[in-house]
Amino acid sequence: MKWFIDGLKNYFNFKGRASRKAYWMFVLFNILFGWAAILLDRMLGTPEVIDVDVVAYAGGPISGLYSLVLILPSLAILVRRLHDIGKHGGWFFISFIPIIGWIWILVLMVKEGDLMQNAYGPIPEEIS
């Protein structure tokens, strides 16, 4: 939970580095809270948007608001994670390439960070 809160505290911070553990713990809690928001939408019976033509689920207003609020912190921690492996934040745009882009971003996110200070700062401190 501390990693998620740390990610939220760095809402607009696109500088520095984020460790692999910090990134993946943020992603884990983001998924869990996203599911909770969807569940809350369903329990309250709030309307959901489903487009049958493209088989898309947009969720209700609570999950939609949650997703909207978490766009910037998610992007910020992804950029800081890219910095940790010595890549520029612009590498994020490779994810727009269908299938291959997401696989490549996943490979980069799993990769171990630089063990020494790099151009983006010192080794990130672990949250205890």
Cβ neighbours around 121 below 10 Å, total = 13
Share of the chain above pLDDT 90, in %: 55
Which tokens in the block code for residue 85? 């492996």
- Decide which of 101 and 6 is more confident: 101
| 3-state SS, residue 121 | strand
Reduced 3-state DSSP string for the chain? CHHHHHHHHCCCCCCCCCCHHHHHHHHHHHHHHHHHHHHHHHHHCCCCCEECCCCEECCCHHHHHHHHHCHHHHHHHHHHHHHHCCCCHHHHHHHHCCCHHHHHHHHHHHCCCCCCCECCECCCCCCC
- Decide which of 93 and 60 is more confident: 93
Which sign, positive or negative, has the C-alpha torsion 88, 109, 26, 99?
A: positive
Q: What is the pLDDT of residue 1?
A: 78
Judge whether residue 57 has pLDDT over 70: no
Q: What is the pLDDT of residue 127?
A: 55
Q: What is the pLDDT of residue 20?
A: 92
Q: Give per-residue pLDDT as tens, 15-37.
A: 999 999 999 999 999 999 999 99
Q: Give per-residue pLDDT as tens, 75-109.
A: 999 999 999 999 999 999 999 999 999 999 999 99
Query: Rounded to the nearest 5°, which phi and psi values hold at 29?
Result: -70, -35
